[in-house]
Amino acid sequence: MSGPALKHVDSHKAIHEAALNEAIELTNFLDKLVRDSHTEKALKLAYVIVEQWETRTLRHAEAEEEGLYKELVEENPDLNEDIVALTRDHNLLRILIKEIKSTLNNDGINDEVVQKFQSLIIVDELHNQKEMEVLPEH
């Protein structure tokens, strides 16, 4: 069973916005460090951003998949297609994080990593919009 914050649209939206805004700020700072050739600082920050995505967004995604999404489909089977799409979004975020970690470990920091962090932000923004459409008003 999911917690009440996940089922309440306003609190759920606030959870998303807080994590996403933090990711945007960190990614913008990372982009500046990379452009200014502060490689060591940029690499350290990239690992912090990975941890931020893992602990804030992906952990939240797991909670949604384990509780909220199952409950929504049980309450309204017509939402199954939307839930499959939302879960796919989570999987895309996981894939991007895995690719970022691999690049950081093998090649260090580069513009490709920044672009993948920016891609995470775009996927998450679109995901959040759709999820707010799917959540019932409580």
- 128 pLDDT higher than 60: yes
DSSP code per residue over the chain: ---HHHHSHHHHHHHHHHHHHHHHHHHHHHHHHHHTT-HHHHHHHHHHHHHHIIIIIIHHHHHIIIIIHHHHHHH-GGGHHHHHHHHHHHHHHHHHHHHHHHHHHHH-S-HHHHHHHHHHHHHHHHHHHHHHHHSPP-
Task: Decide if pLDDT at 109 tops 80.
Answer: yes
Token pair of 26 as six digits: 């960190």
Taking Cα atoms as reference points, which of 65, 113, 122 lies closest to residue 88? 65
Name the burial class of residue 58, with classes exposed (0-12), middle (13-18) and buried (19+) by CB atoms within 10 angstroms of its CB.
middle
pLDDT of residue 11: 77
Chain segment 43-87, per-residue pLDDT in tens: 999 999 999 999 999 999 999 999 999 999 999 999 999 999 999
Does 6 score more than 90 pLDDT?
A: no
Least confident stretch, 5-19, 52-66, 116-130:
5-19
Q: What distance in Å separates the CA atoms of residue 50 and residue 117, rounded to the nearest whole number?
A: 9
Domain map of the chain by residue range? 4-134
